[in-house]
Amino acid sequence: MLSAYIMPHAPISRPLVGRGEEKKIQNTLDGYRAASAKIAKEQPETIIVISPHNVMYRDAFYISPGDVYTDSLAAFRCPEEKVRHEYDTELIDEILLLCAQEDLPVSTDPRYAGEPDHGTCVPLLFVDEQYRDYKVVRIAPSLLPNEDLLKMGRVLERAIAHVGRKVSILASGDLSHKLTQDGPYGFAKEGPEFDRQVTEQMKRADFKGFLEYDPRFLDRAAECGLPGFIILSGALENCIVQPHFHSYEGPFGVGYAVCDFDIEDYCPHLAQESLEAYVRDGRKIEIPENLPDWMLKDKAGVFVSLHKNGELRGCIGTISPWTDSVAQEIIELAIEAGTRDPRFPAVRPDELGELEYSVDVLSPSEPCEMKDLDARRYGVIVTNGYRRGLLLPNLEGVDTPAQQIYISLQKAGIRAGEDYQIERFTVERHCR
């Protein structure tokens, strides 16, 4: 993941709809464009949009199917305001697979694929002013419990890590609809109070606060964005988050807030911290206490890769875990990759500022046959006796299972004609 965003979806913000009224929310317009400029600078391959105006079920999430997303503001008498982007079908398939594994109910009913969705359309119209070269994934939240919303966010993060895609996540949502007596929905004292609390939580990246509202309070405040914000927070659990709050206003009786979040994945951050301490001071760091629970409790094989100016500078990994936790595995292997990869000299202190880090966390491997492989989704292990060769998935220039097997056999020293067994595994790729 590259970054994350909270944006409103006010059709009146578009000049052809607002016809001058949009000038009353100039701070929101500035916020939209500042966040969109950040997206344009980062150039994500895909933007996931969580929209409450997509098809929303009480007991299931909806993920829009198809090949192309087309939409407009025709419902607001402005059909010329339109968007068109391809769907990221590979990422959607991975999300659906992980939802099935997590028992998360999801619908992809094609009958509703063309329903208007200004919750997605409006933010993307602003993005498209500055950047258009991206695909989309559209997800509707649901009225399921908060834990399921968090779980969907975690699924999104894992799916992104599996496919190795550069992705931004955008939670589209207005705040209270009951801010003023003359607004379209009237006034309730809970409206301004909700907006005050939730914007303070955005400013602090206090995502736990999103989970603490009384449902009766939320009902009286008449908000629409919170379920999507909770999904977003689930996707960011493995990240160090720095919020940038752009704006809040509500002159039409509806609250509009724009906030973006710089994110840094804990895994490559820990790898960098480990290697830099070792190269500079000759010491191994202790496991930090503020890591996600799974990094402290789970065991897994891990590969740490270093790149400099786009070229490999070191890579060492384990097929199965050497240590008692993923965090310790990363600490040890970052040092190995930087100082003991026999293909490269040890990293010098003056190189540290030029390195890029990626960490692949491996799932347990399972026996398979050639027909069960997919070069993008699965890594490969080949074995003959004590000789083993491993190749990670989704590598540039390796497009077929046959290529994977050929390279893995070479790495293992297994000659043509010799018997071998095949195993496959998935990885969660964490980059910075």
Tokens standing for residue 55: 């098809």
Report d(CA 383, CA 318) in Å as an integer: 15
- What would be the CATH architecture of the domain defined by 3-174+224-237? 3-Layer(aba) Sandwich (3.40)
Strands 239-249 and 256-265, bridge-based pairing: antiparallel
Strands 46-50 and 167-172, bridge-based pairing: parallel
User: Which backbone phi and psi does 17 adopt, to 5 degrees?
Assistant: -90, -45
Locate all alpha helices (DSSP H) within 283-425, ordered by sequence.
293-297, 326-339, 401-412
CB 198 within 8 A of CB 217: no
Identify any residues that bridge with 46 across adjacent strands, giving them in sequence order.
Answer: 135, 167
The pLDDT value given to residue 396: 85
Residue 13 gets which letter from DSSP?
Answer: G
User: How many other CB atoms are there within 10 angstroms of residue 345's CB atom?
Assistant: 10
Report d(CA 378, CA 360) in Å as an integer: 12
Identify any residues that bridge with 367 across adjacent strands, giving them in sequence order.
Answer: 423
Per-residue confidence of the chain (432 residues) as pLDDT tens digits?
A: 999 999 999 999 999 999 999 999 999 999 999 999 999 999 999 999 999 999 999 999 999 999 999 999 999 999 999 999 999 999 999 999 999 999 999 999 999 999 999 999 999 999 999 999 999 999 999 999 999 999 999 999 999 988 888 999 999 999 999 999 988 899 999 999 999 999 999 999 999 999 999 999 999 999 999 999 999 999 999 899 999 999 999 999 999 999 999 999 999 999 999 999 999 999 999 999 889 999 999 999 999 999 999 999 999 999 999 999 999 999 999 999 999 999 999 999 999 999 999 999 999 999 999 999 999 889 999 999 999 999 999 888 999 999 999 999 999 999 988 999 999 999 998 987
Report d(CA 311, CA 313) in Å as an integer: 6
The pLDDT value given to residue 289: 87
The pLDDT value given to residue 237: 92
DSSP reduced 3-state for 210:
helix
Report d(CA 168, CA 124) in Å as an integer: 12
The pLDDT value given to residue 394: 86
The pLDDT value given to residue 183: 86
Question: What residue spans define the domains of the chain?
Answer: 3-174+224-237, 266-431
CB 308 within 8 A of CB 351: yes
pTM of the model: 0.89
Domain 266-431 falls in which CATH fold?
Answer: Glycoprotein, Type 4 Pilin (3.30.700)
* List of residues 6+ apart from 208 with CB closer than 8 A: none
Strands 379-384 and 311-317, bridge-based pairing: unpaired
CB 314 within 8 A of CB 323: no
Strands 387-391 and 379-384, bridge-based pairing: antiparallel
